[in-house]
């Protein structure tokens, strides 16, 4: 699988949608294709962007429930909402949701699940699979992936990045880029790897104007 996985974000709260978009963009191999604030907008976005692979669906939307979209949209779906009713969870899973995350959740948790979804797609990209492959794909989807699970310590650049967070102070991607002498896109790519691996946490920093910036901190051990 060489192409990036396209994501549709469906949430009527623009700040939540922006946060989810930032997390998606921070995970290697993913790109946001569209955002929507209603059921109708979500359906329209799918028609306009047939290359959407995954939808992140809020439950409560102004014109209906995101749960109704799970079975209708021609893509995989994660439910990411505040609904805690057990019936809603069963409905979502019965309709075909691949994950159910209850707000509020840690930014790294969504990044971890996205990394697991990417691994699920990689494993099932083969023309045929055996039982081991099926089990590995479903395990990745359910539990995500972390660096510790893979048994590696990251690239030399990523180890240098982690050293920058030794005193637990937050940094922006531009700070990392300047400190290491690498380009901002290179810094963001390695930061995305570390977020997906659970080594760093990413959150949005809102300034007075413009788009929010992605702020990184070392994840708790």
Domain boundaries, the chain: 5-106, 116-144, 148-218
Question: Looking at residue 72, what is its pLDDT?
Answer: 94
The DSSP 8-state label assigned to residue 154 in this structure reads -
Q: Count the neighbouring beta carbons within 10 Å of the beta carbon of residue 205.
A: 10
pTM of the entire structure? 0.72
Q: Which of helix, strand or coil describes residue 28?
A: coil
pLDDT the model gives residue 145? 57
β-pairing verdict for 5-10 and 30-36: parallel
Predicted confidence at residue 35, as pLDDT, reads 97
Question: Could you tell me the CA-to-CA distances from 125 to 21, 192, 199 in Å, in that order?
Answer: 25, 23, 27
**pLDDT of the residue at 176:** 93
> Stretch 85-100: mean pLDDT, rounded?
95
Q: What percent of the chain has pLDDT over 70?
A: 89
CA atoms within 13 A on the CB side of 60: 9
What's residue 54's pLDDT?
98
Q: Domain 5-106, what architecture? A: 3-Layer(aba) Sandwich (3.40)
Whole-number pLDDT of residue 128: 92
Domain 148-218 adopts which CATH fold?
A: Arc Repressor Mutant, subunit A (1.10.10)
Q: Rounded CA gap, 127 and 116, in Å?
A: 20
Q: Residue 193: in which H helix or E strand, if any?
A: helix 184-196
Tell me the per-residue pLDDT of 161-201, one tens digit each, with 9 for 90 and over: 999 998 888 998 889 999 999 988 788 878 877 876 778 88
pLDDT band at 154 (very low <50, low <70, confident <90, very high): low
What are the distances in angstroms from CA 186 to CA 26, 125, 176, 191? 12, 27, 10, 9
Quick check: 61 and 80 in contact, CB under 8 A?
Answer: no
């Amino acid at each position: 699988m060489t192409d990036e996985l396209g994501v549709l974000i469906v949430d009527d709260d623009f700040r939540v949608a922006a946060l989810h978009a930032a997390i998606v963009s921070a995970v290697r191999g993913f790109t946001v294709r569209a955002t929507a604030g209603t059921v109708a907008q979500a359906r329209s976005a799918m028609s306009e962007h047939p290359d959407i692979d995954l939808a992140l669906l809020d439950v409560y939307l102004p014109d209906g429930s995101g749960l109704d979209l799970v079975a209708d949209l021609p893509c995989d779906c994660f439910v990411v909402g505040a609904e805690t009713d057990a019936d809603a969870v069963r409905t979502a899973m019965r309709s075909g949701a691949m994950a159910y995350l209850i707000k509020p959740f840690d930014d790294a948790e969504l990044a971890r699940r996205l990394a697991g979804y990417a691994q699920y797609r990689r494993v099932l990209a083969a023309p045929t699979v055996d039982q081991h492959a099926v089990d590995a794909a479903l395990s990745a989807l359910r539990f995500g992936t972390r660096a510790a699970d893979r048994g590696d310590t990251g690239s030399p650049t990523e180890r240098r990045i982690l050293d920058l967070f030794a005193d637990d102070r937050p940094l922006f991607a531009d700070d990392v880029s300047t400190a290491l002498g690498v380009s901002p896109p290179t810094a963001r790519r390695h930061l995305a790897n570390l977020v997906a691996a659970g080594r760093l946490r990413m959150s949005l920093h809102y300034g007075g104007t413009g788009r929010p910036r992605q702020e990184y901190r070392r994840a708790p051990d």
